[in-house]
């Protein structure tokens, strides 16, 4: 067993949280549990609950914290996750974290509480640079970064020789700043919250993907 097995990943959008979560889950041999995926899966089953969720999403409403907590804690306790899990995107707010804590205080959760809140720490300027520099070959779809992963010959795709590059429509400074603001208001308060419980560990999220996953390995000791 690793030092930590039930891990909540925290970090701003663009911190590499998704990438690192997938690597960590694979190396630990546990599943990554995502609130968004659980919601989509429930809709697919066509259950009454699934219909309720679909109706809310179609109407542009938020799915209630209560429902998300119910789905996530069910997954945390599922037999296939008995050895641990990585929780991505949950809890997303203090409200959700407090509801989770209540459920964790029930007998079912004995010895099964979250044991680490891992914060992938990156400064805002770094996130902007990382997201705003992303580009993609218009012809073959290969991904590049103007600074971190440039083409071998400037302006020419390494894979197909294409000369046209596109950016994702939502990779603008305005969208990134707005996503960061939402994170700071709703999710960042979880940092002191988990710090107070002695569950928070920070990892430096800057630098190449491999370097960051090595730092995470040192902490989790898998």
Please identify every residue annotated as catalytic. Answer: 17, 92, 134, 168, 179
Min CB(94)–Zn ion separation in Å: 45
Residue with tokens 């580009």: 135
Helix-helix angle 35-45:48-58, to 10 degrees: 120
Binding site for Zn ion (CB under 5 A): 137, 139-140, 142, 157, 159-160, 162
52 or 146, CB closer to Zn ion? Answer: 146
Which pair of tokens denotes residue 26? 């694979």
State both tokens at 59: 């109407």
Q: Select 2 or 157, whichever has its Cβ closest to Zn ion.
A: 157
Q: How far is the CB of 141 from Zn ion (least distance, A)?
A: 7
Contact (CB, 8 A) for 6 and 112: yes
Q: Minimum distance from CB of 37 to Zn ion (Å)? A: 30
Backbone angles phi, psi at 201, to 5 degrees: -130, 135
Sorted by sequence, the CB contacts under 8 Å of residue 92 that are 6+ apart come out as 35, 186, 187
Q: Which residue lies nearer to Zn ion by CB, 101 or 146?
A: 146
Is the distance from CB of 72 to CB of 41 less than 8 angstroms?
A: no
């Amino acid at each position: 067993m690793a030092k930590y097995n039930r891990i909540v990943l925290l970090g701003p959008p663009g911190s590499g949280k998704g990438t690192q979560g997938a690597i960590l889950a694979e190396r630990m041999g546990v599943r990554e549990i995502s609130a968004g995926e659980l919601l989509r899966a429930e809709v697919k089953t066509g259950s009454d609950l699934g219909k309720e969720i679909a109706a809310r999403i179609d109407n542009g409403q938020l799915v209630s914290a209560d429902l998300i907590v119910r789905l996530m804690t069910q997954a945390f306790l599922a037999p296939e996750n008995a050895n641990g899990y990585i929780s991505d995107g949950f809890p997303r707010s203090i409200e959700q974290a407090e509801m989770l804590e209540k459920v964790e205080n029930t007998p079912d959760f004995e010895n099964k509480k979250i044991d680490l809140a891992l914060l992938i720490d990156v400064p805002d300027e770094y996130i902007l640079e990382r997201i705003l520099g992303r580009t993609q070959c218009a012809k073959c779809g290969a991904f590049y970064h103007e600074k971190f992963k440039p083409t071998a010959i400037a302006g020419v795709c390494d894979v197909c020789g294409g000369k046209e590059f596109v950016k994702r429509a939502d990779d603008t400074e305005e969208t990134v700043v707005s996503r960061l603001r939402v994170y700071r208001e709703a999710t960042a308060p979880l940092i002191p919250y988990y710090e107070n419980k002695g569950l928070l560990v920070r990892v430096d999220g800057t630098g190449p993907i491999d370097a960051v996953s090595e730092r995470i390995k040192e902490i989790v000791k898998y």
